[in-house]
Copies of this chain bind each other. A is one copy, B any other.
Amino acid sequence: MVDSATETQAEALTPRQLAVLDAVLGLMVEKGDQLTMAAVARRASCSKETLYKWFGDRDGLLTATVQWQASKVRAGNYDRQKLDALSLRDSLISFAANWLQVISSPTSIALNRLAISHAATHESNLGGIVLANGRFAIGERLRPLLEDGRATGLLDFDDAETAFRTFFGLVGRDVQIRLLLGDALKLSVTEIERDAARAADQFLALHGRAKPAPKA
Contacts and interface: CB of A to CB of B under 8 A. Distances in A.
Interface of A: 31-34, 110, 112-117, 119-122, 125, 127-128, 130-131, 135, 157-158, 165-166, 168-174, 176-178, 180-183, 202, 205-206, 216
B128 A182 contact: yes
24 contacts: A32-B121, A33-B121, A34-B121, A110-B120, A116-B116, A119-B180, A125-B182, A127-B181, A127-B182, A130-B181, A131-B178, A131-B181, A131-B183, A135-B178, A166-B173, A166-B202, A169-B169, A169-B170, A169-B171, A169-B173, A172-B174, A176-B177, A202-B206, A205-B206
Copies in the complex: 2
A174 B76 CA distance: 19
Q: Binding site of A, secondary structure by majority: helix, strand, loop or mixed?
A: helix
Contacts of A176: 177
Contacts of A181: 112, 115-116, 119, 127-128, 130-131
Given A34-B121, A116-B116, 4 more contacts: A33-B122, A130-B181, A169-B174, A177-B177
A171 B169 CA distance: 8
A55 B33 CA distance: 24
A112 B119 CA distance: 12
> Considering residues A32, A34, A116, which has the most beta carbons from chain B within 10 angstroms of its beta carbon?
A116
Contacts of A31: 121
A122 B113 CA distance: 13
A41 to B, nearest CB: 20
A76 B62 CA distance: 40
A120 B33 contact: yes
Given A33-B120, A117-B33, A128-B182, A166 B177 contact: no
A183 B157 CA distance: 25
> Considering residues A113, A172, A180, which has the most beta carbons from chain B within 10 angstroms of its beta carbon?
A180
A28 to B, nearest CB: 9
